[in-house]
Each structure stands twice: as C-alpha cells, then as structure tokens.
Structure 1
Amino acid sequence: MMGTQSAPAQLFYDFDLEDHVPANHMLREIDRFLDIDGMRAKVQPFYSHLGRPSIDPELIVRMLVIGYVMGIRSERRLCDEVHLNLAYRWFCRLGLDGKVPNHSTFSKYRHGKFRESDLLRHVFEATVERCLKENLVSGEGFAVDASLIPADANKTRSLPASEWNADVARKVGSRAAREYLDTLDDATFGAASPSQPKFVAKSDPAAQWTRAEESRPYFAYATNYLIDTEHSVIMDVEATRAIRQAEVGASKTMLGRTEKRFGIKPDWIAADTAYGSAENLGWLVKKQGIIPFIPVIDKAERSDGTWSRSDFEWDEENDQYICPDGHSLRRFRRNYSDPNRVKKIGGTYKYRALKAHCQACPSKQRCCPNMDARAVTREPDEDARDFARSARKSRAYKISRNKRKKVEMLFAHLKRILNLTRLRLRGPNGAKDEFLLAAIALNLRKLARRRPRTPQTEAIA
C-alpha cells in the first residue's frame, strides 16, 4: 500500500542536536582541534567594562572557520547557512533557537577588535601549536612558495601608474588606499621594489598589476606559504605584492617568525628558482645555516658552445680562477704593500687572464673567440651559490624536489576546495585576513584527516 507523508501536530518535541550531527562529520573532527581558549584573554583589553554585552567573539571566529573550511565565500550566505544547517549550529554552539548575527557584524569585528588584537594570527598560531602536539611537524625540512590570488579590483576603474598620486589618494581614497599608504615602507608592499606597475587600481592600490604565465593581466596579491614537508602543515603565511622581491622577503620573514614563535629552524629548505638569488642564498647559508635546495639564478651560463663560468675552477686560497687549460685568471697581477688594497669588501669582481696566454692557447676558439683575453666575473655570495649548486647534485635534492610539490597541492586545495579564487576583502589587511583564515582552515582539515576520531571512516566534507 502506498504511504503518505503528513506533518505531526505536536506541541513539544524531544530533540537533541548532538544526535543529528554525524560522528564523522568534518566539523565534528575540526571541533576537537580548534583551540581558542586564549582568544578571550587576547581581545579582552579591547572591550569596555561598561555597556551591553557584545556578540561573543568566539561565535564570530567559529562562523568564519565554517565559511573557509566549507568554501562559503559570501558572508550573507554564511549567515543563512548557519541559520539552516544543524551541523553548523552545533559547531557554533547556537542550539536550535540561537540567533545568528547579522552579516555586517563581521566587518565591525574585522576592522576593529580582530585587527587591533591581531586575533587571527593568534588563532593561526594556535592551530600550528596543535599540529606540533599531534606530531605532525618534524622541523627537518621546509618548503616555501607563493601563489597569485586575483584581487577585488577592476581594470576599467584603474589609472596609469604615472597618473596616480599618493597625496590625492590619502585625501579621497578608500580604506584600502589608506592601508596601502601606511605600508609604503613595508618590505612586502610599497618598499618591495622601486619599479612601478603599469596600472594602479584606485580601489586597491596595493594590488599588483601582473601577468601570470600566458593568462591575461590582472590585479593580484600573493599568498606565501612556509610548510613543513613531513605532513604539509602550514608553519606560516604572509600576504605580499605579486612580485618576486616581495615573495623572497616574505620567506625570510616567515622563517624568522617561525623560529621566534615555535623555536623551530629547519635543516634545509626547498624552493623554486625565484628564490635562488645570490643575496637570498647567502642569507640562508651564512646567516641561518640552512641548506638551500634551490636552483641558482645564474645568467653566466653560455649557450653558444663556448666555456661558461662553471667550467672554470675556483681557487679560494689564491683568490683566482683556473681555466680548463690550466691558466690562472686573477683580479690583480702585482703585489701590493697595503693589504687593504686587495681586501674583499663586496660587489662584483672581474678576474682576467693574461693576453699572452690566451693568444697562444689552443682552446681560444672555445673560450674567447671574439676577445683578446678571457675574463670571468665573481658575484657577491658566490660561495653560497657554489654551495647551492653542489647541494643540487645530491640525492637529498631529488627527495626535496618531490616534497616541494606539496606546496603546490596546498594551493590547489586553497582554490578548488576552499574556493579562494578571488579575494573579497581589499587592501593589505584584507588580504592578510583572508590568507590567515584560509591557512587556519587548511591546517584544521589536515588535523581532521591525519588524526581522526574514527580511523575506519573518512570525515564528511
């Protein structure tokens, strides 16, 4: 017999919200690892002891975590989803009749107490600490990389860089413009490079006009990840302009902050060629004692079949190069009574061979066919570059190259699972907030997968 559905006319219901959230739901797993016990103490100084009680900041943080973990980009939609979804209500401790705050509350907290107290950074570091407690961080090897995220800026509402005026923007600019002007001396934004982009967005001047690969140019920010390669835990995250100089500077900032905050400095670090400048390699090798598994940026290699600088042997003791035919290339050909005349003080040095040697050399056509004598330059921190080249020949480099791909996988999860394909917030602070929340979500998802309550089943996304 065909059944029929009817709504029971009951006055009272016996309903337990705990029973209606699946045991292996993603949020139930994440709830075990979201450590915000110290959050209230962090924001307490920014509240007045007078007036009505505010909306619980823990509720705001939990709703934001839901939005980024579940890929809900709209805060209006997030409020609707929390209102309707039982699992979201359970995670936010709202019960069945708890009131969901208005979407405008997020902006008030974001521009107020959260940024004043740096709360999102505190929550992110708490997730990293939990990863340390769960033995998901080895501290042996790190990897660093950056990915471009389109900004909320339109080309049609931009200006050529030559027409953009900082004083005018300060007077009539938006919040994002004022934030950018406040970061002009910051190495990750205004001071990252003296070069100016072709266009500047009036609504978000910090967004960099860039062209990635073969795509059409657009305004973007760069999110920088420093990860532990054991389980792909994000150790630190930084927002920068979408230029190489800012990304390299961010890697130094993240390494220093990780060592200061958690007392962890890796034995080696893996990165792509963008991080292979002489200055960065010298900083890693000489000042930090970290092995760089990084391809060296080297423009001295020749492609015309003649000998490159790498074919010459460096003689550190005598401060000279030895060519493949055994002739020496030196900076000076005389002995100075004052040792300070030949003291190395930095900069690029040129080492020259004797003209008589080169003219009589049988290998001249392979060495310097268009010159009377061969000259070789030695860059600053060339010893660190040589060390990086030798490290690239090791078996450990091949292992690190495979582990470095874990950063790319995190960026794929960021864009495909968390749905962070375009920023909603503007300005340097808006980019920092979004990237921090996304990193919190990725680490929490990692904890839920690696340390599940029920290992036999996978958590429901």
Structure 2
Amino acid sequence: MMGRLKSDQGQLFYEFHLGDAVPEDHLVRKIDTALDLSWLRSELAPHYSLMGRPSIDPELMIRMLIVGYVFAIRSERLICREVQVNLAYRWFCKLGIEDAIPDHSAFSRARNERFREGDVFRRVFERVVEACIAAGLVGGEGFAVNASLIAADANKQRSIAGQDWWKDRDPARSSRAVKEYLATLDDTAWGAASDVVPKFVSPSDPAAQWTGAHKGPAFFAYSDNYLIDVKFGVIVDVEASRAIRQAEVGAARTMIERTEERFGLKPERLVGDTAYGAAPMLNWLVEEKGIAPHIPVFDKSKRDDGTFSRSDFRYDPTSDVYHCPGGKRLGTSGTVHEGKTLLYRASKLDCDVCPLKPKCCPKEPSRKIPRDIPEHARDVARSFAGTEGFETSRRERKKIEMRFAHLKLGRLRLRGPQGAQDEFVLAAIAQNLRRLASLVARAPPAQVLCIT
C-alpha cells in the first residue's frame, strides 16, 4: 500500500544525535581525525581583551573556513549558509543542531585583525605539515617547486597606465590593499623583484601584476608558489608573490630556507622547470645550500646563425681554459666584466689559419667566449641532465602540477599581498588535509550494541 508523508510536524520532543547523521566514511570525519586545533585558543589569547562581550570562538571560524576551501565554497556568506543547513558541516564545526551561525562579517574582522596579528593561517598550515611529517608522508629527500597564476580581484577597465602610478603616497590615506603593497616594496617577492614599470596598474590592488603569460588575453594576477615533497606530494610551504619570474625565484628561495628553519628539512635535490634554471639561482643551490639542482639550465648562448655556440667549446676546469672545435685553447686575463663575466679569448694567429673560422667567427678577428662567475653551478646542473635520477625527477614534477590542477581557486576574493597570501595558505591547508585524510586517517569502527 502507498505510504503517505506526515504533515504534522508539531512533535514536542526529539532525540537526535548530530554525529549519527554523518556517514562514517564522510570526508569531514577523516579531516577531523587529522586536524588538531587544541593549541589555537592559547596562541590567540594575547590578541583578545580580558573585558567585554565574549567573541566568536576562533576555532569555529577556522573550521568554517577549512570547510569552505575543502569543498570549494569561496564566499563567506555562502559558507555560513551551507553550515546552517548541512549537518556534516555542522558536526565538523562542533556546532549543535540549535547553535547559531556567526555572521559573515565576523570573518573579515578576525582575518584582518587578530588572525593576521597572530599569523594564524601560517601556524595552522605548519601544524598540518607537522602532522604529515609525523605520519611518514614527507621523505625530505626531494622537493619540487613551481608557481601558478591566479587571477586577482582587479578590473582592467578601472586600471591606469603604469607610468601614472606613483609609489610615494601617504599610506594613512590609502586602502588596506595599497598599504600592504607599499609595505612590501623592499621584498624580493614584490617591489624589489623588478624595477620594470608594468604596462597597467590596478589602483585597488597595485600588487597584482598585469600579465599575458597564458598566451591569451592579459589579466591581473598573483603567483601562487608551492614547495612540495615529492614522496606523496605534500605541500611543505606556500608563498604569494608578483606574477613575474624574478619574484617566483625569490619566493622559492624563501620557502626553501623557511622549511629548513621550521621543520629541519633540507632536500638533497630540487626539481623545477627552466624558470628556476638561471645562474644566480643555480649558484645559490649548489654553492650555498648544497642542493643538487634537477633543473633544466636557462641558457641563451645558443646561436641561430649557423656558427658554433658556446656548447661546442669544451671547458677544462683544471687549467681554466676552453678548447675550441679545432683543438685550440682560449684563455682569460681574469678581468671581470660587468661584475659577473669573464671573457676567454682565442689567439688571432690561431684563428687566422683555422679552416673552421667561417663557422666560428666569420666577422671577428678571433673568437671569444663569455663565462659568468656562477657558470660552475650551471655545469653542475647540466651534469645531471639525462641521468636516471634526473628522469625520475622529471616524472615526480608532475606531482606539483597535480597540486595546482586540484587547486580549487578561481579568481581571488581578497586583495593585496596579505589577502593573496591568506587565500593561498588556506587552499594549501585544505589540500594537505585532504591528502592526509586519504592516506592516513581512517573512520573509527562503528559501535556495536550488545544485548545480554
């Protein structure tokens, strides 16, 4: 017989356990097992007054933000609405069925004041990384670095020409995003990364870089920089920067040093693409950090006019000379040009009688080879190319590309360097928690009711 829906909802008393409504295999259960925020209140206590009305629990706001970034709910208004109606989200946020949901404006106040004063998002991220290390998901032997462009909350129609933007303005009369940008002008990941005047600047978010790197229509963007451990693809550090190569390289150095300082992790090898293969970066890895660069060398010395390139000349480090394809020596006087380059010159007498001169230096009396001071680091990087370890690293680099492929960020909602950093760190927290939950955390066994 056909059943009928009860229309009377006036029952006075209910017996309801919120945990019973959340399936044992639901993702929020696994993440809750992996997440520990017991330290949060004591860390934030100095940033709260001892008097006045009690604030919203900071752990509740952090858990709600994690729900948003794990399940791709970007709007804080929408997060509040989803937690209001979704029982699994309520359970994860430790709310009862009758508890009120905070207003969305509370997130903005906490994020811009107490959370940034206490660097809360960074601390949560590091605690999650420590949990991954403790679970054996971080090998520490190989790291990979890369950056991805994320569109900024900036409108091209309201931008101004780069030469019309002036930096010596009064921070007190500027918006929060402009203040943050002015405070970062000396940072290697921001203003100090390049003195090139951008084509366009967004007055509402001047730190966002006008870029056409995607070979399509140009747009304002930030770079989301990841440093991952290649064992299981755990993100060990994250950093926001300008969307230019120099800033991304500077962010990579910052992340490597910070990971060593915070977790005592220094990799034996670093995997990256050609953007990290310039001589200064390779020299820093080889000479200062002792890290093997499994990185293609960024080299513009190859000639396209049919004459011999620098790679056709063999360098002998023992005698500090080059040998040309004709077997002659090119030596240097030791004079450093432009503060970074040595010139190795062949003898004019050798070049005049050489049958290879038309393919070597047809328009010059003799051949000269420039060699930068950090060229040794390039040679070290070249020595890894083609080896079995290098090919393994090339395959492992796909793990960091997958992290960006699974990154649930579209257009940024927050402005300024700190806003971009907050969003990138929260997204990395969510990705690591999902990784930790899928590899380690297991739902507790269901309780069995025994009747005797």
**TM-score bin (small chain):** over 0.9
Letter in 1 for 2:4: T
**CA offsets 1:236-270 (integer angstroms, 9 cap, x no match):** 00000001000000000000000000001000011
What residue number does 1:108 align with? 109
Letter in 2 for 1:279: P
1:93 match: 94
The equivalent of 1:142 in structure 2 is 143
Aligned counterpart, 1:412: 405
Question: Which 10-residue stretch deviates more, 107-116 or 389-398?
Answer: 389-398
Q: Does 2:400 match 1:399?
A: no
Per mean C-alpha deviation after superposition, the further-off stretch among 313-322 and 146-155 is 313-322
Taking the aligned partners of 1:95 and 1:263, their CA distance within structure 2 comes to 41
Q: CA deviation at 1:173?
A: 2.7
The answer for unaligned runs of 5 or more in structure 1 is 333-340, 457-461
Q: Does 1:36 pair with 2:37? A: yes
The amino acid that maps onto 2:438 is R
Shift in alpha-carbon separation, 1:344–1:206, aligned structure 2, 3 A: closer
Matches within 5 A, 1:56-455: 56-168=57-169, 170=171, 172-332=173-333, 347-414=340-407, 418=408, 420-453=409-442
CA distance in 1 between partners of 2:319 and 2:169 (Å)? 58
Q: How far is the alpha carbon of 1:52 from its aligned partner?
A: 1.9
Q: How far did residue 344 of structure 1 move? A: 11
Partner deviation per Cα, 1:393-433 (whole Å, 9 max, x = no partner): 2111111001111111111100xxx2x11100000110010
Name the CA distance, whole Å, in 2 between partners of 1:268 and 1:245. Answer: 21
- Indicate conservation of the 8 Å contact 1:161/1:197, yes or no: yes
Deviations, residues 335-362 of structure 1 (Å, cap 9, x unaligned): xxxxxx7699951011111111111112
SS at match of 2:96: coil
Cα gap change, 1:92/1:207 in structure 2, threshold over 3 Å: closer, same or farther?
A: same
Distance in 2 between residues matched to 1:169 and 1:178, nearest whole Å: 9
1:35 CA displacement: 1.6
- Separation (CA, whole Å) in 2 of partners of 1:343 and 1:377: 10
- CA displacement at 1:204 relative to structure 2: 0.4
- C-alpha distance in structure 1 between counterparts of 2:321 and 2:223, whole Å: 42
| Aligned CA distance change for structure 1 residues 26 and 299 (closer, same or farther; 3 Å) | same
On the 8 A contact 2:277/2:297 being kept in 1, the answer is yes
AA partner of residue 175 (structure 1): R
Q: Tell me what 1:338 maps to.
A: none
Whole-angstrom CA distance in 2 between matches of 1:449 and 1:199: 43
Report how many aligned residue pairs link the two structures. Answer: 444
Other structure's SS at 1:439 match = helix
Q: CA deviation at 1:453?
A: 0.8
CA offsets 1:194-250 (integer angstroms, 9 cap, x no match): 111111101000000111232101100000000000100000000000010000000
Counterpart secondary structure, 1:437: helix
Give 1:112's aligned amino acid: E
Q: Normalising by the residue count of structure 1, what TM-score does the alignment of the two structures yield?
A: 0.93
Deviations 1:260-302 (A, max 9, x none): 0000100001100000110000000000000001111111112
User: Which position in structure 1 is the counterpart of 2:6?
Assistant: 6
Secondary structure at 1:76's aligned position in 2? helix
Residue pair 1:322, 1:328 contacting (<8 A) in 2 also: yes
Report the CA distance between 1:324 and its aligned residue: 1.9
Cα deviation, residue 192, structure 1: 1.1
Q: Is the 8 A contact 2:336 2:342 kept in 1?
A: no
The one-letter amino acid of 2:25's match is N
TM-score by structure 2 length? Answer: 0.95
What one-letter code is carried by the residue in structure 2 that aligns with 1:436? Answer: V
Contact 1:173 1:203 in 2 (8 A): no
- Residue equivalent to 1:335: none
CA drift of 1:191 comes to 1.1
Could you tell me how far apart the structure 2 residues matched to 1:163 and 1:305 are? Answer: 44
Q: Mind listing any 5+ residue stretches in structure 2 that lack a counterpart?
A: 446-452
Whether the 8 Å CA contact 1:169–1:177 is kept in 2: the answer is no
Secondary structure at the counterpart of residue 180 of structure 2: helix
In 1, the alpha carbon distance for the partners of 2:442 and 2:296 equals: 41
Instruction: Decide which moves more: 346-355 or 302-311.
Output: 302-311
Tell me by how many angstroms 1:96 deviates.
0.4
Tell me if structure 1 keeps the 8 A contact 2:124–2:429: yes
State the AA in 2 paired with 1:222: S
* CA 1:298–1:342: 2 relative to 1, 3 Å: closer
